[in-house]
Structure 1
Amino acid sequence: MRSKAKSGTRVKSTIILVLCLFLIGFLAYSGAYGVKLGDYKLKPFTEVINRGLDLQGGVSILEEIQSKNVDQKTVDRTVDLLSMRVNKLGVSETVVNKEGKNRIRIEIPGKFDAKEVVDGVAKTGQLKFVGPDNKTILTGKDVKDASAYLDSQNNQPMIGLELNDSGAKKFSDATQKFLGQKIAIYLDDQMLTNPQVDAHITNGKAEINGSKTLQEAQRQANLIKSGALPVEVKPVQVTTIGASLGANALPLSILAGKIGIGLVMIFMILYYRLPGLIADVALTLYIYIVLAAFVNVNVTLTLSGIAAFLLTVGMAVDANILIFERTKEELKSGRSIKASIDAGFKRAMSSILDSNITSIISGIVLYSIGTGSVKGFALTLIIGVVLSMFTAITVTRTLMKLVANIGLFSHKGTIGTFGVHDFRKGVRGIAK
């Protein structure tokens, strides 16, 4: 009975292991080269991950607010307005972020005319309400206030609009004339919203619906309220990275990454043998998961981000090394292979958690106080460290148990219970 149960466990573990290896192999191939499944295509990561200026070239502008005493809300409205002007240039993957208290960093990949960008983002701007007859009804001068809130009846995001006396009179005439039609609100000829007139509004107060989220409603309300840039901004630094320099940086970075990851994988196999091979399989899945996370959270990858990613690869392997060394210690004490694997994971867990949690804390601090490439490095580091713990604790352990159930750890030598002398001997043998 025991023999049959053991045989059943071995067959079941073999099937699961084969399926896991096939799935990981498929994901790795699709991530590297892309896969077409009928009408649906899985694009490779090189096509879907956002790339920063240093990887594809473009223009970077540091704008400084000229007013000395500016509150945070005003800075946020300025960032939103500058972002709209940048997006009007028809370029994706743009980045507009606060830098310090009174500076705003604008990065536009793929654009190389710095003068055009500077002239486009820092202009005064004009807010206008346009009727269905394409005539301007109101301008930003007629707006007294705008705010966002959730409707108490249906919990939908709304924009509350309040006009001054002159605006209220114009709006009253327009809502009476265009009842049942739409009045569009434009900023710099770009439509913010296009609400329908449902009532004749005489008191200068209106509600605008149609926003998908409260955050979107707040952003639109800020833009309507400010109308034009609320403060004067001046470019204090303009940097242009050529297309050829950016184009060369990406393949060189990928090559460096391949060499680094390849050397790590070879080391793991030479030193830890079968567990090292399992760690390499888990590392392959880890790389796929991290890159997929970059796509889903819309990370803009830069050279510093690639450095952080490769750093987390080393940290992911480091967790496996801790586990394997603890496992080897248990084997030397006389435990069975399965018991040694379980004990090795348990004993290494505290060290893995301690090292990774401190790295995450460092990343959070860098992300909170850093700017530009430092922020990107920190975000990449945090994502990588969190996912490295998952693969080391879950994926590697699962694969190790499956291999143990199959019986591939037939003797202790397969789990790498040898010293540095044997490692050097193995390296010399491969060199010959």
Structure 2
Amino acid sequence: MNRYPLWKYLLILAVITVGVIYALPNIYPPDPAIQISGSSAALDIDDRTMTKAEQAIKELGVDYFGAENSGTSGLIRLYDRSMQLSVQRKVQEALGSDYVVAVNLAPTTPQWLLDLGAGPMKLGLDLAGGVHFLLEVDTARVLTEELESIEDTVEKHIRSERLHGVDARVHDGIMTITTDTDEQRMKLTDFLRKEVPELQYERVEQGGKFLLNATMSDAYIRQKEDYAVSQNLTTLRNRVNEIGVAEPMVQRQGRNRIVVELPGIQDTARAKSIIGKTANLEFRLEANETTFTSQREEFPWRDELKQSRSGNNVVEKRPVITGSMVTNAQIGYDPDTSLPQVNITLDSQGGTAMHRRTRDNVGRRMAVVFIEYKTEIKRQRSGDGEEEIVYEQIPQASIISFPVIQGALGRSFRITGIDNPAEASELALLLRAGALAAPMGFVEERTIGPSLGAENIALGVKSVQIGLALVLVFMLFYYKVFGFAANIALAVNLTLLIAIMSMFGATLTLPGIAGIVLTVGMAVDANVLIFSRIREELANGVPPQTAIKSGFERALETILDANITTFIVAIILYGIGTGSVKGFAVTLAIGIVTSVFTATTCTRAIVNLIYGGRRVNKLWI
């Protein structure tokens, strides 16, 4: 009785061996390093670039080692983690804006483990250090712009149908069309129902006029908001990839917010300037007398447009193309003036629009307008008198180039008139990453330094060590030989937990360490149930071998019931939680699986080796 066949012992041994191999890389601490990559995917890292970077580090007087070059990126390891930011700034200054230099943590895992596919766990923001941003998407502006676009369509239809005395205006999310007759209103209603079926209508008569109030349906509003947030998510991910962060996190939070976490980055200013750049590019023709008299509204950029290099200019209301039509943008240099320029490639729609408008306006100026939205924090009183914080997006537009159209342009052209290479490189990056569907503002900004991350790791490891030591001593003292078996199974449990997290690329966070500490207690709890059951059987006069068998088999049902319910809670936490909650849920869920396996299989295997297959008069339990 209580004997496992050989194949079961071999299977348990194989599982433990695999667990040890994939958990082993975590005992090798990473080296502080700087990572060098090109500002565009086409720019490779050659030996000359690495030599230039190493020379800059030598000039700074910082010791380094292990310079590596994979062709697409370079890595230089440092001895002192506190010097990462200083080295990063010095190397960035030496290489220029064509390259992106980021701080990173380089793994020190031996090659034979890497060959087996083993690697250390990824560390979260609270352990590796880095920056955390919470951005809010201005979806209200998207809806307003959508209504204004519909308004333009209505105005064109009014002019084409020669409907006199008809006026269309947008205010507070409502497009109001004023007509002289009910017949005109019905014609416009039929037109809108055909062209924009998502609108809702209300007919009103006021002051002898026939009004048609059109608003967007709730479903259409939600659709436009989801599109804006999804597009911004894609754009932010592209920008993060351009920076070269090792393990970034960009995810949606709630209806209109986005969380960006960049582990290993401590240069908040640079990360914010790239990721948080709520900017777009528009090409607008210079206004002339015709556009002054034909456009009903005042130009939106008349007061907001900064003084350009060509003087104080006024541009047309409607852009020729926008940055959303750009498919590629690369920095270059004018061969005649050696000044930086941005080489632009448009999609087919943008190329057609650019060709048509420039062909008909040769000799006229076209402004390249750079529009950036600044976040202003305002405090105001709500309806119930409580003070609340409102984040308002204020557009700031400036003309970065105002050339004369020499001929019809197509899909490819260049933007000149940029004096600063860094400005040209950043503009190319923003255009290449994609345009934002809606402006965003920073709601929360948090920086975690590398020293704080290291302190969090030290405290987390210490908590696990203390908890594990107390549990080991208690189990050994209270359950004797069975406590010894449970302690070995507990060590296997932690090894398997770390191995699984490493194999599946799970990110370890500070709450995740709390989940590991909880797993230690839960693993022991399963063994306590088994051992208590064995004691009950012995108290009832059951023979020792039968008591062992009954204890493991009868306690299994209780163990499964308790752990399955906890596992369901962990899944729910992972599904609805964000950030730290997800980190806790991951370790909790994995820990439950490993705890059940080690408590019911490994512990029994050890007990079987000690007591199985022989006559036993007394159990040390």
Question: In the TM superposition, what is the alpha-carbon distance from 1:17 to its structure 2 partner?
Answer: 11
* In structure 1, distance between residues paired with 2:580 and 2:463: 19
* In structure 1, distance between residues paired with 2:594 and 2:353: 57
Identity of aligned residues (%): 36
Structure 1 residue aligned with 2:274: 120
* Structure 1 counterpart of 2:271, one-letter code: V
SS in 2 for 1:41: helix
State the TM-score, normalized to the length of structure 1. 0.66
SS in 2 for 1:98: strand
Per-residue CA deviation, residues 57-79 of structure 1 (Å, 9 max, x unaligned), is 21111011111454434423322
Q: Is the 8 A contact 1:10 1:406 kept in 2?
A: no
Question: In the TM superposition, what is the alpha-carbon distance from 1:378 to its structure 2 partner?
Answer: 1.6
* In structure 1, distance between residues paired with 2:562 and 2:255: 33
With CA pairs under 8 Å and 6+ residues apart, which has the higher RCO, 1 or 2? 1
Change (3 A) 1:142 1:358: same
Structure 2 residue aligned with 1:419: none
Question: In the TM superposition, what is the alpha-carbon distance from 1:413 to its structure 2 partner?
Answer: 3.5
Question: In the TM superposition, what is the alpha-carbon distance from 1:191 to its structure 2 partner?
Answer: 12
Question: In the TM superposition, what is the alpha-carbon distance from 1:294 to its structure 2 partner?
Answer: 1.2
Query: Which one of 243, 246, 262 corresponds to residue 450 of structure 2?
Result: 243
Query: Which one of 306, 314, 321 corresponds to residue 521 of structure 2?
Result: 314
Q: Is the 8 A contact 1:31 1:288 kept in 2?
A: no
Question: In the TM superposition, what is the alpha-carbon distance from 1:14 to its structure 2 partner?
Answer: 13
Change (3 A) 1:19 1:238: closer
Question: In the TM superposition, what is the alpha-carbon distance from 1:344 to its structure 2 partner?
Answer: 1.0
Change (3 A) 1:269 1:29: farther
Question: In the TM superposition, what is the alpha-carbon distance from 1:304 to its structure 2 partner?
Answer: 0.8
Structure 2: tracts of 5 or more residues without a match: 29-107, 141-220, 281-322, 334-341, 356-408, 412-426
Question: In the TM superposition, what is the alpha-carbon distance from 1:395 to its structure 2 partner?
Answer: 2.2
Query: Which one of 262, 277, 284 corresponds to residue 484 of structure 2?
Result: 277
* In structure 1, distance between residues paired with 2:248 and 2:566: 29
* Structure 2 counterpart of 1:260, one-letter code: G
Is 1:335 equivalent to 2:335 in the alignment? no
State the TM-score, normalized to the length of structure 2. 0.48
Structure 1 residue aligned with 2:593: 386
Is 1:64 equivalent to 2:58 in the alignment? no
* In structure 1, distance between residues paired with 2:531 and 2:494: 20
Per-residue CA deviation, residues 364-385 of structure 1 (Å, 9 max, x unaligned), is 2222222221122122211211
* In structure 2, distance between residues paired with 1:375 and 1:21: 27
Q: Is the 8 A contact 2:119 2:502 kept in 1?
A: no
Q: What aligned pairs does 1:335-374 form with structure 2 within 5 A after superposition?
A: 335-374=542-581
Q: Is the 8 A contact 1:64 1:233 kept in 2?
A: yes
Q: Is the 8 A contact 1:24 1:285 kept in 2?
A: no
SS in 1 for 2:442: strand
Structure 1 residue aligned with 2:460: 253
Structure 1 residue aligned with 2:262: 108
* In structure 2, distance between residues paired with 1:190 and 1:309: 41
Is 1:85 equivalent to 2:291 in the alignment? no
SS in 2 for 1:341: helix
Change (3 A) 1:14 1:56: closer
* In structure 1, distance between residues paired with 2:516 and 2:492: 14
Q: Is the 8 A contact 2:26 2:121 kept in 1?
A: no
Q: Is the 8 A contact 2:129 2:450 kept in 1?
A: yes
Question: In the TM superposition, what is the alpha-carbon distance from 1:115 to its structure 2 partner?
Answer: 2.0
Structure 1 residue aligned with 2:619: 413
SS in 1 for 2:578: coil
Per-residue CA deviation, residues 39-85 of structure 1 (Å, 9 max, x unaligned), is 61369xx9711112221321111011111454434423322221221
Farther-moved stretch of structure 1 (363-372 vs 270-279): 363-372
Structure of higher CA gyration radius: 2
Structure 2 residue aligned with 1:150: none
Per-residue CA deviation, residues 297-331 of structure 1 (Å, 9 max, x unaligned), is 22221111110121112111101110111112112
Structure 1 residue aligned with 2:24: 30
Query: Which one of 51, 54, 62 corresponds to residue 123 of structure 2?
Result: 51
- Let me know the Cα RMSD of the aligned residues: 4.0
Question: In the TM superposition, what is the alpha-carbon distance from 1:26 to its structure 2 partner?
Answer: 5.8
Q: Is the 8 A contact 1:13 1:402 kept in 2?
A: no
* In structure 1, distance between residues paired with 2:22 and 2:527: 20
* In structure 2, distance between residues paired with 1:24 and 1:266: 28
* In structure 2, distance between residues paired with 1:63 and 1:333: 65
SS in 1 for 2:234: helix
* Structure 2 counterpart of 1:382, one-letter code: A
Q: Is the 8 A contact 1:55 1:250 kept in 2?
A: yes
Structure 2 residue aligned with 1:195: none
Structure 1 residue aligned with 2:381: none
Q: Is the 8 A contact 2:512 2:587 kept in 1?
A: yes
SS in 2 for 1:92: coil
Q: Is the 8 A contact 1:52 1:302 kept in 2?
A: yes
Question: In the TM superposition, what is the alpha-carbon distance from 1:18 to its structure 2 partner?
Answer: 11
Question: In the TM superposition, what is the alpha-carbon distance from 1:142 to its structure 2 partner?
Answer: 3.0
Structure 2 residue aligned with 1:197: none
* In structure 1, distance between residues paired with 2:263 and 2:110: 33
* In structure 2, distance between residues paired with 1:340 and 1:164: 84
* In structure 1, distance between residues paired with 2:130 and 2:548: 51
Change (3 A) 1:85 1:340: same
Q: What aligned pairs does 1:146-185 form with structure 2 within 5 A after superposition?
A: none
Structure 1: tracts of 5 or more residues without a match: 1-5, 144-162, 172-186, 193-222, 417-432
Structure number having the greater helix percentage: 1
* In structure 1, distance between residues paired with 2:328 and 2:22: 52
Query: Which one of 273, 290, 307 corresponds to residue 497 of structure 2?
Result: 290
Structure 2 residue aligned with 1:76: 230
Farther-moved stretch of structure 1 (334-343 vs 58-67): 334-343
* In structure 2, distance between residues paired with 1:234 and 1:120: 13
* In structure 2, distance between residues paired with 1:14 and 1:294: 25
* Structure 2 counterpart of 1:87, one-letter code: N
* In structure 1, distance between residues paired with 2:129 and 2:519: 26
Structure 1 residue aligned with 2:177: none
SS in 1 for 2:542: coil
Structure number having the greater strand percentage: 2
Q: Is the 8 A contact 2:132 2:260 kept in 1?
A: yes
